[in-house]
Amino acid sequence: MKNNSQAFVNQLLVCLLVTIGFGGSIGLGTVWLRHRISVTANNNKILAAKIDAVERRIEEMTTVLETEKRPEVLRQSNADFHLGLVRIDEVPVISTETNPARMAERSSRALGAAATDRGDQPVTLKLALH
């Protein structure tokens, strides 16, 4: 019988190299995965900070707008800039029983007559009532 101890050592060496290579690739994959998790966590932190900054600016602008919408501030701006604004409850509202379509038709006829007097083409408004 021949002694095949040399072949056994070669097989053992190949198995050992394959095991080390497989273990190294798992280790390298783990390190790469941890790096990607770290990069993603940092990106998430940056995005969260940006979102917080935008929300803070929205809240600041909401506060400024609410401050400017106060009635006393609006009255003061109206007086300072001579805007001639009136409160909504001071605007006269006229109720009518006339059909709005008929009112629009009359207005259209009046506009058409004025345009004809100037020599322009008449403007007509036709409403389809169902």
Domain chopping of the chain, boundaries? 11-93, 94-130
Q: How many CB atoms lie within 10 A of CB 92?
A: 5
pLDDT for 95 equals 75
Residue-wise burial string across 60-79, b where 16 or more C-beta atoms lie within 10 A, e elsewhere: eeeeeeeeeeeeeeeeeeee
The whole-number average pLDDT for the span 75-96 is 80
pLDDT for 116 equals 61
The 10s digit of each residue's pLDDT in 20-65 is: 999 999 999 999 999 999 999 999 999 999 999 999 999 999 999 9
Rounded CA-CA distance 124/109 in Å is 7
